[in-house]
Amino acid sequence: DAKTTQPPSMDCAEGRAANLPCNHSTISGNEYVYWYRQIHSQGPQYIIHGLKNNETNEMASLIITEDRKSSTLILPHATLRDTAVYYCIVRVAGGATNKLIFGTGTLLAVQP
């Protein structure tokens, strides 16, 4: 699976949009971009995933660049409860395993 690069930390004001970037310049054509988050001392939680089109669900939006070498996770109205480490993971679709390899992630601190 391809590697990802994320900033180690970011701050965001409560109520504002949080935009978390991820670089995955070596992504292959059959690899999806997944986002998970981990609130302190809990198990990770799935947020969203996509292949090449932008995706939106009740939690967030995922914007993938046309060349697929980077993406941005958008939390439209961040709350204090969104403070967590956010992981961007690329993974092959149709692979023999569903395992996830976590990088270092971005610690998002939502400030009141």
Strands 9-13 vs 106-111: parallel, antiparallel or unpaired: parallel
Would you count residue 92 as binding other proteins (CB under 8 A)? no
CA-CA-CA-CA dihedral for 12, 13, 17, 23, to nearest 10: -10
105 is a site residue for other proteins (CB under 8 A): yes
* Nearer Cβ to other proteins (41/67): 41
Residue 51 engages other proteins in binding (rule: CB under 8 A): no
71 touches 43 (CB < 8 A): no
Decide if residue 7 touches other proteins (CB under 8 A): no
CB of 101 to other proteins, least distance (A): 6
Distance CA 81, CA 104 (A): 20
Shortest distance, position 98 Cβ to other proteins, whole Å: 6
